[in-house]
Structure 1
Amino acid sequence: MRYRKINNWGQFDDGKEVQSSDPGFLEDQRSRVRAELVSSEEIYAKKLQTFYKHYAYPLSQEKHDHAVMKHQDKWDRYFKELENIKDFHRDVMVTNLQAAQPSQEDGDYEDIGERFMNVASYLTEMYVPYLRKFSEIRDSIKNERRKSKYQQFFDDASRQCGGLQIEDFLIMPVQRIPRYKMLLSELIKYTPDDHEEKKSLQEAHEMILKILADVNSRAN
C-alpha cells in the first residue's frame, strides 16, 4: 500500500495540551503576568485621569472654574467615590505595582502579593461603596445626559476621548477588581508551590474574592 501524503497534521491532535513543568517556562509565564498587572494598572490610572479631564471636572462647578453648567453639585455626588479611586491608583497603586517589577540592575523584585495585601484595606474602603452604588449612579447619569442642555457637551467630550462615552469610563472600576482576580489566579498557577511568593499571592487573591463577595451579598 502506497503512503498517502498528509496535508493536515492537525487532524491527529488529541486536543489535550500537556503543560510544561520546565522552571524556565513557568518563570517566563510569571514574568508575563506580572508585566500585564503593571501595564494594565498604568493604563487604568491614565483612563481615569482622562475621564476626569474631559467629563467629571468640566461637569462640576465645585471642582472646575469652567464648568459646563453652573451649580451642578449633583455631579459631585455622582463622582465622589470615583475620584477617590482615581487618586488612589494614580498616587499609590501604580507605583506600588511598578516597585514589584524586577530591577534592571540585579533582576530582584519585591513580593507582588504583599504589595496587594499592603493596600487591602484601601481597596475595600474605596471599591465596595462605588460598586454597590454603580447601577444607581449609571442610571442617574443616563437620565441626565438625555437632557438637551448636555448633548453637545457629551458629544464633544466623547470625541476628545477617542469615542469613549461616559458609561465606558464609569464601568472601568467594576471591571478592575475581577481583572485583579483573573491575573492573580493566573500568577498563582505559574508560581511553584515552594516559591516564596506563593502564600502572599494566595492571600491577595482571597482578599479580592472577599471584596467581590461583599459587594454581591449587599447587592442582593
Structure 2
Amino acid sequence: MKSFIKNNALSLSFFVIFLFSLVAQIYFGKEEYNRELAENNAVSVDLKSYLTSGHFVESTFENWESEFLQMGMFVLMTISLMQKGSSESKKFDGTDEVDREPDPNKKDAPWPVKQGGAILWLYKQSLTIAFFLLFLISFVLHFYGSLDDANTGNALKGEPMQTAGQYITDSRFWFESFQNWQSEFLSIFAMIVLSIYLRQKGSPQSKPVDASHNETGE
C-alpha cells in the first residue's frame, strides 16, 4: 500500500483535491440553486434532484470543457511551435526525445508499439485524441445542462421554452464557454512565459535554477 501511494502520490493528491472541490461545489451550488428557486416562489430541490439539474450539469461541464480544450490545444501546439527560453517548449537545437520513432524491440514497450500499423498510429496521437474527445463530451453536456437551466428559468418566468437549435446561437451559452476558455489560455500563456525567467527548484515544470534565460526546454 505504501509503495502504491508513493508511486502515485501526484495523481492521488490532485484527485483528492478534485473530490473535495467537487463536494464543496455541490454543497454550495445546491444552496445557491435553492435560493434562486425560493426567489421565484418555486419548491426547493433535494440533493438527488440537484445532481440531475441543468444548474449542476452546466456549471460542472462548462469548466471541464475548458480544461480539456486547454490541455488538448497545448499538447497539439507544442508539437510544432516553440518558445525560446521556455521550459514548456521543445529545444530549438538538436532532437528531442519525444520526436524519435518508437522502437518495437525496446524492453517493456507498450503493446501498440509492438503491434505497429494503424494501432501504433492511433497510439502516437492518443493523448491529443483523448483530450479532444473529453472536450467534446464535456461541451455536449455543458450545452445540455445550460439549455435545461435556461428553460427552467424560462418556466419560472412564464416565458417560452427554447429548443436546442435556438439555444446553440444564444449569447448566454457562448458567454459561458468563452469566459472559461480565455482564462485557461491565459494560464497557459503565463506558464510558458514565466518559465523563461522564473524558477522552482525541484519541479519538472521549471528549468534548473542556474539555467540561462535563453535555455529552452527542461
Q: TM-score, normalised by structure 2?
A: 0.29
Q: TM-score, normalised by structure 1?
A: 0.29
Higher relative contact order (CA 8 A, sep 6+): 2
